[in-house]
Chain A
């Protein structure tokens, strides 16, 4: 199944990034990791989403010029940064790209203001100070100008690193999980400031993350990357809410992923019934799921969020949900404010509920239960 959807046309202001690169790494002679990615993004924030080891950082390094693709082409706006056919490979220092590393890489021996002015070496001193002050103000860290990076807080360091990169007026901003170490309140404030900045400086921003929350907080567009390949791109909702690929489903927080066989199609209902595969000996467990273009007997994979499953201690009646599965409670564990219930109903299913709900139901390990799944909580994904 081809999961790559087409991307909207490049925005009219002309600022865009287009990338088509291949790079192979060999591990001791054996073919190792390989990166092959082709995409183009308009100005605005694009999330590069994927598990660690997916090649996100390598991709950013190729764009910045810190790593050299084996072949391909990279251009930002009308500037060609790399083109293997035309033998163009702009040096890192001439690409006018901003890159904020995961470690930030603030110069420890320079003050915040000196860090920010570092990229402005060619400007006259007065102009340097003016621009540095403006950017420090827009990231609300002007009061830290004289301090060394060691002497400011984590969130302020992040702001300083952003300010240092953006003061050079780059044509492209690359962010490699720069906010991963921050608490969510600090993170969302910085993201808000970044959005404000991006609204007046329309350049493409590539933001690498493996955090689902960040994807929804930031993303206008998402590119999902795994093992060096682009699996899907589109809006966060398209890519993550209805994942069409198993590995994205796992990343996007779908705790239950089942292999199933389509038994009957019900086109008039817009649904189909599927039999979960590892349950056939114990009597079939069937789920009613949204209709797809398949024929009976086809193998499909179904992803369900644990939080989308309802638990009942009696057989529920008068319910709109199409799937009611009878099972036995195997495990019950509390993680923070989430209670994780492991239920055996032929297949092992994980369901999440709140501690309050757990107490109200008087759940006991070993007791009989009914699981309730809405048809539209069952997502079909590609393996």
Chain B
């Protein structure tokens, strides 16, 4: 097993997981409480990575961060190099790809909090932020744990998007799932098996934690 690939994968998944909790929480709050009539469009966009082939998503991300797109050029003028085939690019792509796995469990958990508790909180003088931090968040901890575990595990296991956006650069963009593919291509079955077994055990552990804290881990969008 290549420890460099494993460390890189863990670092990527950790950063993406933290990012997604930060970005996903306000998105989930909005999805859970907004009464905007076109909300379903946003829900669909957020859920897209669930159904889209990773290569399609990877392809568009690659185009978007490439030096021909305005976004890519802006990044290049600021940082001096392209996002494509770098660790940072991989972080952006993975975050987009795993977004629904962070947003959906949190939105479902937020929406399940009794509306009367929120009314009671505002009647007692609390601001929306205060209500969120003191009532909604503590009552949604299982949902937040589910979001964290799912987005971490999903980032560890992704393959298509990483290959499209990151390529296969050891120490920069080669994650364990790419490494397994590489090992199989090179007929190094023993190595491939070690890594695969490690991933299998990790996935089992992640799901055990998830179902241990929450019986309704795989929730769909919150009920309307």
Contact = CB atoms under 8 A, between A and B. Distances in A.
Interface of A: 64, 66, 91-99, 101, 103, 105-109, 118-119, 121-122, 164-165, 168
Given A108-B139, A118-B134, A121-B130, A168 B125 contact: yes
Interface string B126-140: 110010001100110
A101 B120 contact: yes
Contact of B139 (A64, A92, A103, A109): A109
Contacts of A105: 114, 116-117, 119-120
Contacts of B116: 101, 103, 105
Closest 6 CB pairs of A and B: A119-B124, A105-B120, A105-B116, A92-B122, A93-B122, A99-B123
Contact of A93 (B114, B126, B135, B138): B126
A107 B123 contact: no
7 contacts: A94-B125, A96-B125, A99-B120, A105-B114, A105-B120, A107-B121, A108-B139
B146 to A, nearest CB: 18
Nearest to A66: B119
Secondary structure of the A contact surface, majority rule: loop
Contacts, number: 57
Given A105-B116, A105-B117, A118-B134, A93 B123 contact: yes
A66 B117 CA distance: 13
A91 B130 CA distance: 15
B135 A92 contact: no
Contact of A92 (B114, B123, B134): B123
B130 to A, nearest CB: 7
A297 B127 CA distance: 63
A95 B123 CA distance: 8
A105 B117 CA distance: 5
Contacts of A96: 125
A118 B121 CA distance: 8
Given A93-B127, A164-B124, A101 B134 contact: no
A107 B119 contact: no
B124 to A, nearest CB: 4
A316 to B, nearest CB: 56
B119 A101 contact: yes
A107 B125 contact: no
A99 B123 CA distance: 7
